[in-house]
Amino acid sequence: MRLNKEWTIKGIAMAVTGIILVLAGIAFAQHRNFKEEVVLGPGVTAVRTLGDYFTPLKGGPNDANVFILDSGEPGGTMLVLGASHPEEPATSLTAHLLVENARVEQGKLIVVIHSNPSASTVTRPGDAYPRFFHIESDWGIKKFRMGDRWANPLDSWPDPETYVHFPSGQLLAYMDVRNLNRTWPGRANGSLAEQTCYAFMRLIEAEGVDLVIDLHEAELEYPIIGTIVAHQRALRIAAMASMTLTAEEFRIGMEISPLALHGLSHREIGDHSNAPAFLAETPQPFLDRVRGITDESLLLTGKDEFVMKAGERGLLYWPIDEDGWPIDVRVGRHCSTILSIAEFWTMFNRSKPLVVTGVPRYADVVAEGVGRFFADPRGASAQVVLE
Amino acid sequence: MAVMVLYYVITALFTVILVRNFIKTRDVQKGILYLAVLMPFVLRLFRLK
């Protein structure tokens, strides 16, 4: 009798566990396997993948799509990296917008929407991130997947006790062995993130990239925010872009990439290639530790009463008010920052001009909404790439 | 890669031990605890999380 009672309870517990496992498993699998639809814009001349530049990545989780927009006219070559950290969605949206809208009149633009695709297939454990977010456009609603800061442990496991950065030997946090912005310049036989950075360095060499812009977002509790971080060879351009944007469009600072802080794009790309690197940051309250409910609304509106309260107490490095930091504002900032850097690159490098048109500036994105600039993937002439 | 495979082997080993303990225990509370602990191991073995 006692045995029957014991196994009845155990049976119920097993059933409940099974249901939880199935429901959770379906949710995780849906997120991991979801593909975003990218409509190739008028400027796209080729679509390659990162595996074309470093074959061990071919067909793997980080064989990212590489969109080439080549004018056919001689000029500079700019590489724009979106979603080095996929939990910073204004970066992938900006890169997505470039692919669908940009036209290159002189030089070549190379865009990667998901620079660390593995990290875009997982969200941060324990932080209750939404799996997806949705952007309204003229033709309907476009769905995107939310990601994490680090590559998916399903693709890169286990982490070391301490991550020793290559080649500097600097000791970094263990999980940053999966962080694309701590593993530059990468190595061929390293972790997935290190191999991905290594592949990007080969891409930079092979395509003759002249400058790199790595897009990011940051919490308002973090001091490096609302700014352009520049390698020492990129300071003139970053300073001019910062001053001009601040005078004409929005406040943005400029910081010099620290010499002794290794693994970051703005330090290592510049040190290990001919291409000076810039890192652009926008404010994203969703990432603040003091935030309230972590949902799609916070991700898209950037409105949070707890972050605002922290601001009132002087605990933040960037202002926030009841308007928050909406996704349109954040994407608009990145669009204008990219355009401004390209303009000043051309001003300082007359023999290698880089002229990009068709990309909305800050005021356009804020006025019309980012969704206005995404094409309908169901359109008759739409050439769609799954991302 | 070899280390990753070894970690999956270790995960499978823990899964077997947890299932075995769940079956053997006469304490229902412990049984439920074993099942709760088992979940992340199963999700990792099936490469879901």
Taking only the tens place, the pLDDT of each residue in A267-289 is 999 999 999 999 999 999 999 99
* CB-CB neighbors (< 8 A) of A154 in chain B: 44, 47, 49
- Residue A289's CB: how many other CB atoms inside 10 A? 11
Give CA separation, A253 vs A83, A238, A281, A321, B36, in Å. Answer: 21, 9, 9, 20, 49
CB pairs under 8 A between A and B: 42
Q: Give the nearest chain B residue to A121 (CA atoms).
A: B49
Tell me whether the omega of the peptide bond preceding residue A258 falls within 30 degrees of 0, making it cis.
Answer: no
How many Cβ atoms from other residues are within 10 Å of residue A128's Cβ? 10
pLDDT value at residue B1? 81
Please report the pLDDT score of residue A13 as a whole number: 96
pLDDT, tens digit (0-9, with 9 covering 90-100), for A324-343? 999 999 999 999 999 999 99
Spans of chain B below 70 pLDDT: none
Q: Report the residue from A9, A122, A158 with minimal CB separation from B7.
A: A158
Partner-chain contact B35 A17, CB within 8 Å = yes
Contact B49 A157 (CB under 8 A): no
Which of these, A295, A320, A317, lies nearest to A306 by C-alpha position? Answer: A320
How far is the alpha carbon of B26 from chain A, nearest alpha carbon, in Å? 7
Higher-pLDDT residue of A376, A380:
A376
pLDDT > 70? residue A1: no
What is the per-residue pLDDT for A380? 76
Which CATH number is A39-386 given?
3.40.630
User: Does pLDDT of A113 surpass 90?
Assistant: yes
Is the model's pLDDT at A3 over the cut of 70?
A: no
ipTM of the modeled complex: 0.95
Task: Check if A124 contacts B (Cβ < 8 Å).
Answer: no
Q: Residue A4: which pLDDT band, with cuts at 50, 70 and 90?
A: confident
Contacting residues of A for B43, CB less than 8 Å apart: 21, 24-25, 28
Q: Which two tokens stand for residue A336?
A: 């204008």
Residue A206 tokens read as: 């092979």
Q: Are A322 and A308 in contact (CB under 8 A)?
A: yes
Could you tell me if A9 lies within 8 Å of chain B, comparing CB atoms? yes
d(CA A13, CA A192): 38
**In chain B, what residues touch A32 (CB-CB under 8 Å)?**
48
Model pLDDT, residue A382: 87
According to the model, what pLDDT value does residue A313 have? Answer: 97
Q: What angle do CA A232, A341, A46 make, to 5 degrees?
A: 110
- Domain borders along chain A are 1-33, 39-386
pLDDT of A379 reads 86
Q: Which chain A positions have a beta carbon within 8 Å of B21's beta carbon?
A: none
Q: Measured in Å, how far apart are chain A's first and last C-alpha atoms?
A: 58
Tell if the CB–CB gap between B35 and A14 is shorter than 8 Å. Answer: yes
Interval A61-96: pLDDT, tens: 999 999 999 999 999 999 999 999 999 999 999 999
Spatial separation of the C-alpha atoms in residues A302 and A220, rounded to whole Å = 11
- Predicted pLDDT of residue A109: 98
Interface of B with A (CB under 8 A): 3-4, 7, 22, 26, 28, 31-32, 35-36, 38-39, 42-44, 46-49
What digits encode the pLDDT tens for the residues A302-319? Answer: 999 999 999 999 999 999
Alpha carbons A60 and A62: distance in angstroms, whole number: 6
- Residue A44 in this model has a pLDDT that exceeds 70: yes
Indicate the residue of B3, B22, B48 with minimum beta-carbon distance to A29.
Answer: B48
Q: Does residue A266 surpass a pLDDT of 90?
A: yes
Cβ atoms of A256 and A233 within 8 Å: the answer is no
pLDDT at residue A299 in the model? 98
pTM summary value? 0.96
> Rounded to a whole number, what is the distance in Å from the CA of A352 to chain B's nearest CA?
43
B25: closest chain A residue by CA:
A6
User: Given this model, what pLDDT does residue A243 score?
Assistant: 98
Of all residues in chain A, what percent carry a pLDDT higher than 90?
97
Confirm or reject contact between A12 and chain B (CB < 8 A): no
Q: Show the tokens assigned to B4.
A: 């990753």
pLDDT the model gives residue A315:
97
Set of chain B residues whose Cβ sits within 8 Å of the Cβ of A10: 22, 28, 31
- Report chain A residues whose CB lies below 8 A from the CB of B32: 13
Mean predicted lDDT score pLDDT of chain A: 97
Interface touch B48/A20, C-beta < 8 Å: no
Contacts of B29 in chain A (CB under 8 A): none
> Cβ B46–A25 below 8 Å, yes or no?
yes
Q: Among residues 128-187 of chain A, which lie with CB inside 8 Å of chain B?
A: 154, 157-158
Q: What sign does the CA torsion over A20, A26, A32, A38 have? A: negative
The 3-state secondary structure of chain A, one letter per residue: CHHHHHHHHHHHHHHHHHHHHHHHHHHHHHHHHCCCEEECCCCCCEEEEHHHCCHHHCCCCCCCEEEEEECCCCCCEEEEECCCCCCCHHHHHHHHHHHHHCEEEECEEEEECCCCHHHHHCCCCCCCCCCEEEEEECCEEEEEECCCCCCCCCCCCCCCCCEECCCCCCEECHHHHHCCCCCCCCCCCCCHHHHHHHHHHHHHHHCCCCEEEEEEEECCCCCCCCEEEECHHHHHHHHHHHHHHHHHCCCCEEEECCCCCCCCHHHHHHHHCCCCEEEEEEECHHHCCCCCCCCHHHHHHCCCHHHHHHHHCCCCCCCCCCCCCCHHHHHHHHHHHHHHHHHHHHHHCCCCCCEEECCCCHHHHHHHCHHHHCCCCCCCCCCEEEC
| B1, B6, B35, B41: best to mutate for the A interface, most A CBs within 10 A | B35
